[in-house]
Amino acid sequence: MNYIDLKNLFFKYRNSVEDILKNINFTANKGEITAIIGESGSGKSTLLRILAGLEIPQAGELKVNNKIFIDDENFIPVEKRGIGMVFQDYALFPHLSVEKNVLFGLNKLEKKSAEKRTHEVLDLVSMKEFIKRYPHELSGGQQQRIALARALAPNPEIILLDEPFSNLDANLQGKIRNELKAILKTSGETAIFVSHDKDDLEIADRVVILDRGEVIQTGTPAEIFRNPKNEYVRHILGI
């Protein structure tokens, strides 16, 4: 069964002339990591924001775990989707400590349980010693781990990450990539991340290739490398 099922999605911004996303279809299984890869401007962030419930598409159907999130009659808002999001700039609150940043999303729990869960996810991302620090006292990689911990804390059904490695030093990227994969697999998360960098495919179970708002090819990384559909896919893969 497809855990995430997106069908015939069309989207344009109010001021855009053409459709930004054109007839997007893809599925993802539970516990898998899906990479959405494409050139800058191909619509990756827009697609992620629609999955999160931050933008409303003109047409299309989105089901998660057989629940309808979007169709002609229904639109489940962001706060009811059980989705965690890690933004490109991490979007940590600068005036809050690491602990308070993670606690922020746990306002539905009572204080004791919220604190317990905060310590648990900070342990998961190996950042427990940094609990009293502030974001500006942390490196890019450490900030990213806090953003991830904050997104994982409420046990979301899905976690969405926008260009999770693009703000990190090149020599850190490989290490953080493998760490992220280990954390997602340990917590059994279903994850979708977007990227423009072929190196990020390393940690993906499945890949969706986007070109100017259209899905060009989907498959496992191995399938796509073995049989790239066109010149654009080859270009994205650097082959």
Binding site for ligand ADP (CB under 6 A): 13, 15-16, 20, 38, 40-46
- List the alpha helices (DSSP H) in the chain: 44-52, 98-103, 111-124, 140-152, 170-186, 221-226, 231-237
DSSP state of 75: B
CB of 6 to ligand ADP, least distance (A): 15
- Closest CB to ligand ADP among residues 16, 58: 16
- Closest CB to ligand ADP among residues 58, 113: 58
Residue 45 engages Mg ion in binding (rule: CB under 5 A): yes
CA within 13 Å, CB half, 141: 14
Check: CB of residue 90 under 8 Å from CB of residue 163: no
Binding at 206: pick from ligand ADP, Mg ion, none (beta carbon under 5-8 Å per type) = none
CA distance 41 to 28: 23
Residue 142 engages Mg ion in binding (rule: CB under 5 A): no
Binding at 13: pick from Mg ion, ligand ADP, none (beta carbon under 5-8 Å per type) = ligand ADP
Which residues lie closer than 8 Å to 182 by C-beta, 6 or more apart? none
Secondary structure percentages of the chain, helix, strand, coil, to 5? 40, 25, 35
# binding residues, Mg ion (CB under 5 A): 1
CB of 200 to ligand ADP, least distance (A): 14
CB of 42 to ligand ADP, least distance (A): 4
Binding at 153: pick from ligand ADP, Mg ion, none (beta carbon under 5-8 Å per type) = none
Check: CB of residue 177 under 8 Å from CB of residue 202: yes
- Closest CB to Mg ion among residues 45, 218: 45
- Closest CB to ligand ADP among residues 14, 136: 14
Taking CB under 5 A as the binding criterion, the range among 16-24, 42-50, 54-62, 153-161 that sits at the site for Mg ion is 42-50
- Closest CB to Mg ion among residues 71, 89: 89
Binding at 43: pick from Mg ion, ligand ADP, none (beta carbon under 5-8 Å per type) = ligand ADP
Q: Residue 95: count other Cβ atoms within 10 Å of its Cβ.
A: 9
- Closest CB to Mg ion among residues 51, 124: 51
CB of 45 to Mg ion, least distance (A): 3
CA distance 47 to 70: 13
Q: Residue 18: count other Cβ atoms within 10 Å of its Cβ.
A: 8
CA distance 164 to 167: 7
CB of 222 to Mg ion, least distance (A): 26
Residues at the contact surface with Mg ion, assessed by CB under 5 A: 45
